[in-house]
Structure 1
Amino acid sequence: MIESSMAIFVLLGSFFVFILIRFPIAYAVALSSILCLLYQGLPLTTVAQQMVKGISSFSLMAVPFFITMGYLMGSGGISEKLIALANACVGWMRGGMAMVNIVSSYFFGGISGSAAADTASLGSIMIPMMVEQGYDDDFATAVTVTSSCEGLLVPPSHNMVIYATTAGGVSIGSLFLAGYLPAAILAGTLMVGSYIISIKRNYPKGDKFNLLNLFKQIAHSFWALAAVLIVVVGVVGGVFTATESAAIAVFYSLIVSVFIYRGMTWKGVWKVLDQCVNTLSIVLILISTSSIFGFLLTRLNVPSLAAKAILGLTDNTIILALLLNLILLVLGVIMDMAPIILIATPILLPIATSIGISPIQFGIMMILNCGIGLLTPPVGSVLFIGSAVGEVSIERLVKAILPFYLLMIITLLLLTFIPAISLYLPSVFM
């Protein structure tokens, strides 16, 4: 028992030390795992075996395809069309450009699946546009970075694929469907907050609502939005697997970007593929090194020990659900999204299911928790991207985001205590 406890201490203690001294997360995971293996006297060949095993999954083949699809569509000239569509829907309201920003993120999230891509692509257009129309630059940037988290929930999201693979036995199609309503509720709460702030600061309204213009913009955006339909309808309808749908979506995105919208040349395609390889290499390294870490957690019985420890604190399911969210929020402050999903899922999912939280619902909760983490210093990547794009200091931006943090926490609590928000669509269509 003492031997096992010391091995756990070596694994987790060294991991957090490496995190605190700002090691890259993949190195921190790998080195702490190697130290634990050495302490236990296990052969280092286990490292190579588990790394290969971690990425030898058919489901994970969807991840590079979805990343490529997001880059192709994001660079193919569709951002302006989605902004125009959102403007036709909600631009007439007080603070209309903030509403356009939020709704654009919902549409764009279904194409990129990435909060960082959303912030970089839409932010470079929306933030200068909002500032020009009289909005404060910190408010415009805060709206951009917080609404980008909708893209994590709206399918197709490669983070959902990573969660489904890590959780084991969770339907990717059900997860895709489960994200729509939570993302819509997140968008709604952000719009309410933006509307209140816009009234207080007397931000301008847009043009009056025009039904004919709305239909016109829907027609212009049809080819972009159809990519999402191909993936979701194909997977939910059982026409093809998530991996097959992702491959088809990449081919479709290439045709739309180059030949229909003509926002990209063949030279641009090669540049996009280069960006995809860079991103994918990071994701696959994280998955492979986390596989070693997960192997050791399981071997040392950490998930069951953690479950007993947490469940031993109280038998109140409400407090336990809040505690799960608190753990994920704290992890989000010090770690990036993919490592949290890979490391925390095997530990926290059994606790969630023991108090009646469905694996699908917990997956949505985890993704939103991680999304909030992307907006918090010191490692909030989306926060830093927004600061750079909006040319706003981190201090000013965090201050501007404070009311939006509250709105996102409210949305998180709704998802936690009203399971139907996440589970209704999967129960109907799956």
Structure 2
Amino acid sequence: MDHTTLEIIVLTVTFIGLMLIRVPISLCIVASTISVFLMEDFGLELVSHKMIDGLNTYALLTIPFFILAGQIMGEGGLAKRLIRFALLGFGRFKGGLAMVNCLACLLFGNISGSASADMASVGTVMIPQMVKKGYSKEFATSLTISASIQGVVVPPSHNLILYALAYGAAAPSINALFLAGVFPGIVICAILMFAGRFLAIRNGYTMTEIIPQEERGKVIFDGIFSIMPCVIILGGIFTGWFTATEAGAIACLYAFIVTFFFYRDIPIAEFWPIILKTLRICSLVFFLMAASAAFSYVLTILRIPDMVTALLLGISSNPLMVLFIIACLLILLSAPMDMAPLIMIMTPILKPVILSMHIDPLHFGIIMMLSLGIGLTIPPHGAVLFIGCALTDTPIGRAVRHMTPFYAILFICLMIIIYIPQLSLYLPQFMR
């Protein structure tokens, strides 16, 4: 057995072994990286240098800005206003609440940039409302879990930012990635709305909910103010007025003013707990990125990306077939692992594959987001699945059974995005 093969075995065994005993994933990455560094006799100071290099980028400022804006708007009752705004258009239809749920998740995802935040905020309001109107708790929970996945695809998805940073040299800009997620997000929402309404009517959930005439003016007014961060982010990026980082800062300022001085649903004293929560989230993300930077260096010196490239190219020379295989692989990997570390680990491994196949990194980025997003709904690690079940006190097994048709629907959405690249590439081409 040669030295490189032994190092790969040690790396794999250390990583998987620590993960199986429930060591935090960031520490699994660091420990497995150190094991190889020691075998190569590099010295531990190189690990710290590589970790620091992984955080030495201006684009990282984008992440805390968007996380903070999403936290402020989420705590300030934004989800409730977006739901009532969506009810104006679809609440009068049979199965309309299912459509409203999907649209509300899309709109809130355009602000939070997170599937978990989407599930927690929209689910807290929408699921009890659907149950009150005769929907089963399991159906409402499963639909909301599925619709929340839109948050990882549409801008300002934090995971798209991680993808751009993990891609490294010649990475697509964050602005372009945000625009690449717009049409796929709309397509996913439309398919989920249609399927949700069909399943609701088939199950006999036909009650409607109509906003009273005298309340519609206020609902429209609140809705316009609630979706304004989406307009600021996408409008500013598309017109070139500001970068993604600047858009995040402006979104934070807008969220702060609207939440604490316009609506005033929560007192200004709640701002400090929101800051602390944002700092906790950012510290976890940044440590993961630092650890992944050193891990990526190890993968490179062991030539693991080259091995994966040779393996996939040996299976098929058709780019779409390779993308299909990669998507299925990512879904399988995302069942036991969280989304962020998989992005940081798998992007450098798969980058040579997509370069060899001349696949646009923008297109691949959206495919990766949706594939790993589907994994958020799959046990044993599906974060969004567990949040939904915790909100409604639904057993995991029962939720998974009711998720079956939605798994099929999300997989269809994934196939559409794989086989119609222009959905992801149309808007970014105007930036080129």
Secondary structure of the equivalent of 2:229? helix
Residue in 2 aligned with 1:159? 159
Cα deviation, 1:289-347, whole Å, max 9, x if unaligned, reads: 11111111112221122101221223233432211111111111111111111110011
In structure 1, what is the Cα distance between the partners aligned to 2:11 and 2:217? 57
2:386 alignment counterpart: 384
Give the partner amino acid of 1:79.
A
For 1:252, the equivalent position in structure 2 comes to 254
Q: 1:429 to 1:35 in 2, by over 3 A?
A: closer
Question: Aligned match of 2:305 in 303, 306, 309?
Answer: 303
Given candidates 400, 403, 412, the residue that maps to 1:401 is 403
Q: CA deviation at 1:228?
A: 1.9
Give the CA deviation at 1:421. Answer: 1.0
| Alignment equivalent of 1:321, drawn from 320, 323, 334 | 323
| Conserved 8 A contact 1:78-1:261 | no
1:97-149 deviation per Cα after TM superposition (whole angstroms, max 9, x unaligned): 11111110011011111111111111111111111111100100011111011
Q: Assess if the C-alpha contact under 8 Å between 2:99 and 2:194 holds in 1.
A: no
Aligned residue for 2:207?
Answer: 205
C-alpha deviation, 1:429, in angstroms? 5.2
Q: What's the TM-score once normalised by structure 1's chain length? A: 0.96
1:81 equivalent in structure 2: 81
**Paired residue for 2:274?**
272
Amino acid at match of 1:182: P
Query: Are residues 50 and 211 of structure 1, via their aligned partners in 2, closer, same or farther at CA, if it must alter by over 3 Å?
Result: farther
**Which residues of structure 2 form unaligned runs of 5+?**
none
Displacement of 1:217 in angstroms is 3.1
Q: Which residue of 1 aligns with 2:375?
A: 373
**Residue in structure 2 matched with residue 186 of structure 1 by the alignment:** 188
**Shift in alpha-carbon separation, 1:415–1:196, aligned structure 2, 3 A:** same
Which residue type is aligned with residue 41 of structure 1?
Answer: D
Distance 1:357 1:90 in 2: 38
Give deviations 1:373-415, integer Å, cap 9, x for gaps: 1111111111111001011111111111111011000000111
Report deviation, 1:204. Answer: 2.0
Q: 1:428 to 1:298 in 2, by over 3 A?
A: same
Q: Classify 1:427/1:11 alpha carbon distance in 2 versus 1 (closer, same or farther; 3 Å).
A: same
User: RMSD of the alignment, in Å?
Assistant: 1.8
User: What percent of counterpart residues are identical?
Assistant: 38
Once residues 327 and 288 of structure 1 are traced to their aligned partners in structure 2, the CA distance between those partners, rounded to angstroms, is 25
Amino acid at match of 2:423: I
Matches within 5 A, 1:19-98: 19-98=19-98
Quote the residue 2:131 is aligned against: 131
Match of 1:350 in 2: 352
1:421 alignment partner AA: L
Asked whether the 8 Å contact 1:193–1:403 carries over to 2, the reply is: no
Q: Distance in 2 between matches of 1:187 and 1:226?
A: 19
Amino acid at match of 1:412: L
Partner letter of residue 201 of structure 1? N
State the distance in 2 between where 1:235 and 1:297 align.
Answer: 34
State the partner residue of 1:16: 16
8 Å CA contact retained: 2:106, 2:150? yes
Judging changes above 3 Å, is the alpha-carbon distance between structure 1 residues 209 and 68 closer, same or farther for their aligned structure 2 residues?
closer
Q: Which amino acid aligns with 1:382?
A: V
CA deviations on 1:199-258 (whole Å, 9 max, x unpaired) are 221102324699997775332222221112222222232222222221221111111110
* Equivalent in the alignment of 1:218: 220
Q: What letter is aligned with 1:264?
A: I
Equivalent-residue separation in structure 2 for 1:156 and 1:213 (angstroms)? 31
Kept after mapping to 1: 8 A contact 2:147/2:192:
yes
Q: Is the 8 A contact 1:97 1:206 kept in 2?
A: yes
Contact residue 92 and residue 208 of structure 1 kept, 8 A:
yes
| Bigger mean CA deviation after superposition, 326-335 or 102-111 | 326-335
Structure 1: any 5+ residue segments left out of the alignment? Answer: none
Q: Check the 8 A contact 2:145/2:388 in 1, yes or no.
A: yes
TM-score by structure 2 length? 0.95
Give the aligned length. Answer: 430
SS in 1 for 2:426: helix
Q: Distance in 1 between matches of 2:164 and 2:216?
A: 36
Q: Could you say if the C-alpha distance between residues 236 and 318 of structure 1 is closer, same or farther in structure 2, counting changes exceeding 3 Å?
A: closer
Equivalent residue for 1:109? 109
- Letter matched to residue 273 of structure 1: I
3-state DSSP of counterpart to 2:241: coil
Q: Secondary structure at the match of 1:312?
A: helix
Contact 1:89 1:214 in 2 (8 A): no
Matched, 1:421 2:423: yes
